[in-house]
Amino acid sequence: MLKTLLLGASILAITTAAQAATATRSDFGTAGGAKVEAVTLTNAAGMSARIMTLGATLQSLLVADKAGKKEDVVLGYDTAQEYLSRPNYFGASIGRYANRIAKGKFSLDGKAYTLETNDGPNSLHGGSKGFDKQMWKIESVSSGADARVVFSYVSADGEAGFPGELKVTATYSLNEQNELKLEYRATTSKPTVLNLTNHSYFNLSGNDARDVMGNLVTLHAEKFTPVDATLIPTGERKPVAGSPFDFRSAHRVGDRIRDARDAQIRYGRGYDHNFIVDGAPGTVRPAAMVEEPVSGRVLEVSVSAPGIQFYTGNFLDGTFFGKAGRSYRQGDSICLEPGVFPDAPNHPDFATARLNPGQSYLNTIVYKFSAK
Ligand code: GLA
């Protein structure tokens, strides 16, 4: 009897172990002479995410199509060195401030701060040596009901022009529901501003087989924040109704992307805009859905952030050669970057980007995959 029980228990243990999501560490070459490591999270269904220490970057994401075929659904490079030398932010963790700060200037408690301007007149994604270019440390790796890796990075007081020493972690976890969850956390030694996010470029066709113009996109947003010609928000919150920005029900990306009668489409060279996610910021709620009709792959994005930047890779100009041996061009991918609104430090009526000592920052992003 005891023997049977023990046998039963060990079979159970084996089955659980076989079904558990696993995390494994490996070398991922070098970048700028420094060693890069990667962690691969794999669930029992075979979905797998590889994240490397350079930029805490999501380097590959294998997801099944409707026939069960697993292919890579994110743009990127084969080697860490290419991520360091080519400024696309493919899959990277962005900080200190994702998106733009007008003229690289803001003030906090009466003190003016100046940042590097690396995007025309503005500062973009924390400057030319943002968190995407930093080597993160692997804090912990674990397998189980979900597979998980925690990366950390300490940004020195004054780094890239921002006040306060910022201690940051990026947690990636993958569960059996095909949800890849990202949690960006931070604490600061002085009042500061921040906007941490992930900059994955999704192409659900798998191995970049097709562009994204036929993808069906839904954005749970009644309003978006229009921009000026340098992509800085004007301050307005504009209803999407009746415009090419209305994705409240699913629309093909390509249907209205060339509608040059709309100045916002002209400024963005297509879509490169922050949408105000319906519902209460701070609670994780649906923000976006992307459906790729041929492969059947579906991506649902849930966020805790007030906004999400919908960007169609408009600056990819065919000079970037990616993993599948393809050159990346405009419209080859969709980015969905959840965060506070662009240039929030200069818009007191936008949700605040401020973090005080003693407070903890958290930005939660869930990418859920399925196929139909
Ligand atoms: C964000 C911006 C875009 C572009 C990309 C990176 O999505 O909104 O304008 O700068 O990052 O190339």
Give a yes or no: residue 210 inside a domain: yes
Residue 355 lies in a domain: yes
**C-alpha of 284 from chain center:** 15
Q: Phi first, then psi: give them for residue 252, nearest 5 degrees.
A: -70, 140
Atom 3 of ligand 1, residue of closest alpha carbon: 272
Q: Does residue 287 have a pLDDT over 70? A: yes
Residue 36: which CATH number?
2.70.98.10
Residue 280 pLDDT > 50? yes
Domain with 276, as residue range(s), is: 21-371
Average pLDDT over residues 100-108: 98
- pLDDT > 70? residue 28: yes
Cβ-proximal residues to 27 (8 Å cutoff; 6+ apart), any chain: 35, 36, 37, 38
Whether pLDDT at 6 is above 70: no
Return the best residue to mutate from 335, 340, 341 for the ligand 1 pocket (most ligand atoms within 8 A of CB).
335
Residue 142 belongs to some domain of the structure? yes
pLDDT digit string, tens, across residues 192-232? 999 999 999 999 999 999 999 999 999 999 999 999 999 99
- Please, which pLDDT band fits residue 326 given cuts at 50, 70 and 90? confident
Pocket of ligand 1 (CB under 6 A): 88-89, 99, 124, 231, 272, 309, 311, 315, 335, 337
| Strand duo 334-339 + 307-311: pairing | antiparallel
Domain count, the chain: 1
- Go through 62-100 and write b for each residue having 16 or more CB atoms within 10 A of its CB, e for each that does not: bbbbeeeeebbbbbbbebbbbbbeebbbbbbbbbbbbbb
Q: pTM of the entire structure?
A: 0.94
The answer to the question of residue 107 being in a domain is yes
- What's the whole-number mean pLDDT along residues 105-117? 98
Residue 251 known to be catalytic: no
Predicted local confidence at residue 8, as pLDDT: 45
Could you read off the pLDDT of 294-322 as tens digits, one per residue? 999 999 999 999 999 999 999 999 999 99
Q: Across residues 135-160, what is the average pLDDT?
A: 98
What is the Å distance from ligand 1's center to 56 Cα?
A: 18
User: Which listed residue (125, 199, 251, 347) is catalytic?
Assistant: 199
The ligand 1 atom nearest the CA atom of 88: 12
- List the structure tokens of 90: 């493919």
Residue nearest ligand 1's atom 1 by CA: 99
Report which of residues 228 and 11 the model is more confident about: 228
Residue 11 forms part of a structural domain: no
Work out the burial of residue 195: count CB atoms within 10 Å of its CB; fewer than 13 is exposed, 13-18 middle, 19 or more buried. buried
What does each C-alpha distance from 162 to 44, 46, 123, 156 come to in angstroms? Answer: 42, 41, 12, 9
| Residue 116 is a catalytic residue | no
| 7 domain-assigned | no
Burial environment of residue 103 by CB neighbours within 10 A (0 to 12, 13 to 18, 19 or more): middle
Percent of all residues in the chain with a pLDDT value above 90, rounded to a whole number: 93
Residue 354: which of 124, 113, 188, 122 has the closest Cα? Answer: 188
Pocket test of ligand 1: the residue of 57, 86, 90, 99 to mutate, having most ligand atoms within 8 Å of its CB, is 99
| Position 131 pLDDT exceeds 90 | yes
Which residues, at least 6 apart from 158, have a Cβ–Cβ distance to it below 8 Å?
A: none
User: What's the 149 CA to ligand 1 centre distance in angstroms?
Assistant: 26
Residue 43 confidence class, pLDDT cut points 50, 70, 90: very high
Angle at 6 between CA 2 and CA 11, to 5 degrees: 150
- Residue 272 CA to residue 90 CA, distance in Å, equals 16
235 CB neighbour count, 10 Å cutoff: 14
Confidence of residue 87 (pLDDT cuts 50, 70, 90): confident
Classify residue 4: in a domain, yes or no: no
Look at residue 178 and tell me if it is in a domain.
Answer: yes
Mean pLDDT score of the chain = 95
- Whether residue 107 is predicted with pLDDT greater than 50 in this model: the reply is yes
Catalytic-labelled residue, pool 71, 291, 300, 337: 337
Helix (H) or strand (E) run with residue 182 in it: strand 179-188
